[in-house]
Amino acid sequence: MDLQGIHETLKTYINPPTPPLAIKLVPPGEELPGNAKIPSLHFKNRLTICQCFNMVRYSGITIALGKEDQSCAAGSIILGFKEPISYFKEGNLVAGMYAANHEIGAVMEENLERFPAGKYIYLLVAPLSRANFEPDLINIYGNPAQMARLVQAAHYNSGRAVQSSFTGRAECAHALVRTMESGDYQLLLLCNGERVFAHAQDFEMSFTFPLARADELISGLAESHKNGIRYPVPFWVNYRAVFPPSIAKIDEIWNE
């Protein structure tokens, strides 16, 4: 299925509030599409990964985030744009904020998923329906009920539960690194950074999957929809409402 077809199918079955994102990790030597906006060049600014996601979701542009465009220290290390130096490894970025102390912070940073340094030189993001490149990943934002439909679709053809874990911090590592390296689906609990800097809303979560799993996911959505598992979730309303006595009294009067 082509990217437009995947977009239309997702719109039909879960109707996400913002367009699904096409995401590609660009290795050295590969050219960027001509319409890609480079933050330091076109916006005269440095941005976080999640800010780029927000701009693509709401503005419909294509963004290529490189080493010189990245403002988030953790994001730079996650993408492999910068080496994790001692100051980072010692837990200084998270101690007293996300971590109780430097020792726990060091454990957090040791476990932070990241790409090897220099493996990729750009993070390329576009609306799925407008992407003029083949993405590695597709990312979808929505409410918990919409995310449940995607999990159900992923489960439909495999019988395996979607395996995700959460830290509430640097969820871009889960969205990008974990999805790429596992080749599997990821349900994401958006982190504080994305809520503070990229304005993700309280009701939002996201779901990421490799392009190679698209046919399986789309099939699961379509077939489970036929079976009555749908979004919006259809409420069961074939029952008789129970009213307060003062209202129910009128039936007694009419019956008399």
Domain annotation covers residue 219:
yes
Domain annotation covers residue 238:
no
Domain annotation covers residue 174:
yes
pLDDT of 138-173, one tens digit each? Answer: 999 999 999 999 999 999 999 999 999 999 999 999
Domain annotation covers residue 181:
yes
Domain annotation covers residue 245:
no
Domain annotation covers residue 241:
no
CB proximity list for 31: less than 8 A, separation 6 or greater: none
Whole-model pTM over 0.85? yes
Yes or no: say if 114 and 80 are a contact pair by the CB < 8 Å rule. yes
DSSP state of 121: S
To the nearest whole percent, how much of the chain has pLDDT over 70?
A: 100
Domain annotation covers residue 28:
yes
Please give the mean pLDDT across all residues of the chain: 96
Domain annotation covers residue 255:
no
Show the domain range for 38.
3-232
Q: What is the pLDDT of residue 141?
A: 98
Number of domains in the chain: 1
